[in-house]
Amino acid sequence: MTPEAPARPLVSLRDLGVELGGRPILRGVTANVARGSITALIGLNGSGKTTLLRALVNEYPHKGTIQFHCGHDHTKPYPEAIGYVPQRLTLDARLPLTVADFLALTLSRRPLFFGISKATTAKSQSMLERVGVAECMNVPVEGLSGGQLQRVLLALALEPRPELLLLDEPAAGIDFNGLKKFYELIASINKELGVTVLLVSHDLNMVQTYAHDVLCLRGGSIQCQGPPSEILTPINMSLVFGTEIHMFPHRFGT
Ligand SMILES: Nc1ncnc2c1ncn2[C@@H]1O[C@H](COP(=O)(O)OP(=O)(O)OP(=O)(O)O)[C@@H](O)[C@H]1O
Ligand SMILES: [Mg+2]
């Protein structure tokens, strides 16, 4: 039997450096995001995870190279074929908009005061169904729970279908029981739609269960990268987090 060829990377980072406020935040980051995989980006608060995602969507200027091997143009301010769910919403979630309005603002080119077309409503409905929050269509954005808001943002990030989905702590507002469902949704988006996922997470048990590859940042540099079984060891985790960590898998009820 011939050994399997290693998966071709969808993104390769070579000697990536980002400076913010005159301070080096990322230094010499060389890593690959494997095509078709779920790659988890882990590290302490302030280690540069969000900065790395924002460099990928051209929000921060960088040194070194970010190469996408998918034939799309990634030099534009917001590159096509990338879906991004940020760690924080920079727009005010208290906007007096329903979820239907919020989606229509992105989907439709006509001003909202003309009303939402039937086609846009149907599209929004199917986008919300895909991520399991169809019932939120007419809920004001400010009335969404943290977990519902994350799913609505995920619905937006999936339209049009991206090659690469960047998720910055997507499960931060989700309760323990919702966590498994959320990660299963991500896994099905990865498997069924063939979307490559790069996600930031502090939940090492979820990373162990759902990620194919783990990228560890420490102080803006890559500490280690590889499959969870090789990376999530007590020794590696003490190097990444500076403290001893033992993994106790979640036991979910059925
Ligand atoms: N716009 C900015 N200007 C200056 N410094 C910044 C800016 N954005 C982030 N930083 C700094 O860069 C470092 C890395 O921040 P980043 O948000 O990437 O960390 P993170 O790993 O995502 O942390 P967390 O787990 O808390 O989300 C921090 O020290 C932060 O203060
Ligand atoms: Mg962050």
Query: pLDDT class for 216, splitting at 50, 70, 90?
Result: very high
Q: What residues pair up with 24 in beta bridges, in sequence order?
A: 19
CA of 172 to the centre of ligand 2 (A): 11
pLDDT computed for residue 74 by the predictor: 60
- Answer for the pair 251, 177: CB distance below 8 angstroms, yes or no: no
Question: Looking at the chain, how many residues does it have?
Answer: 254
For residues 30-46, give the mean pLDDT: 95
Alpha carbon nearest to ligand 1 atom 7, residue: 20
pLDDT in tens, 152-200: 999 999 998 999 999 999 887 677 778 888 999 999 999 999 999 999 9
pLDDT in tens, 63-101: 999 988 876 666 665 666 899 998 877 666 566 889 999
The least confident of 4-18, 21-35, 113-127, 228-242 is 4-18
Residues 217 and 121 both lie in one domain = no
Is 47's C-beta closer than 6 angstroms to any atom of ligand 1?
Answer: yes
pLDDT computed for residue 90 by the predictor: 67
For residues 127-142, give the mean pLDDT: 94
The least confident of 14-28, 47-61, 162-176 is 162-176
Does a structural domain hold residue 109? Answer: yes
The least confident of 1-5, 30-34, 39-43, 233-237 is 1-5
Could you check whether the bond before residue 9 is cis, i.e. omega within 30 degrees of 0? Answer: no
- Picking from 177, 215, 169, the residue whose alpha carbon sits closest to that of residue 37 is 215
Is 201's C-beta closer than 6 angstroms to any atom of ligand 1?
Answer: no
Alpha carbon nearest to ligand 1 atom 27, residue: 45
Residues 84 and 111 both lie in one domain = no
Task: Mark 119-129 as b/e (b = at least 16 C-beta within 10 Å).
Answer: ebbebbeebbe
Residues 15 and 129 both lie in one domain = no
Does a structural domain hold residue 3? Answer: no
Does a structural domain hold residue 2? Answer: no
CA of 26 to the centre of ligand 1 (A): 10
Alpha carbon nearest to ligand 1 atom 6, residue: 20
- Answer for the pair 124, 104: CB distance below 8 angstroms, yes or no: yes
Q: Give dist(CA 132, CA 97) in Å, integer.
A: 20
Residues 76 and 174 both lie in one domain = yes
- Picking from 232, 228, 202, 229, the residue whose alpha carbon sits closest to that of residue 46 is 202
Question: In the chain, how many domains are there?
Answer: 2
- Answer for the pair 167, 119: CB distance below 8 angstroms, yes or no: no
Q: What is the pTM of this model?
A: 0.90
Alpha carbon nearest to ligand 1 atom 30, residue: 46
CATH number, domain at 176?
3.40.50.300
Residues around the ion ligand 2 (C-beta < 5 A): 49-50, 87
Q: Which domain holds residue 169?
A: 9-89+161-241
Does a structural domain hold residue 214? Answer: yes
> What tokens does 94 get?
């208290």
% of residues, the chain, pLDDT over 70: 87
CA of 202 to the centre of ligand 2 (A): 10
Query: pLDDT class for 2, splitting at 50, 70, 90?
Result: very low
Residues 67 and 183 both lie in one domain = yes
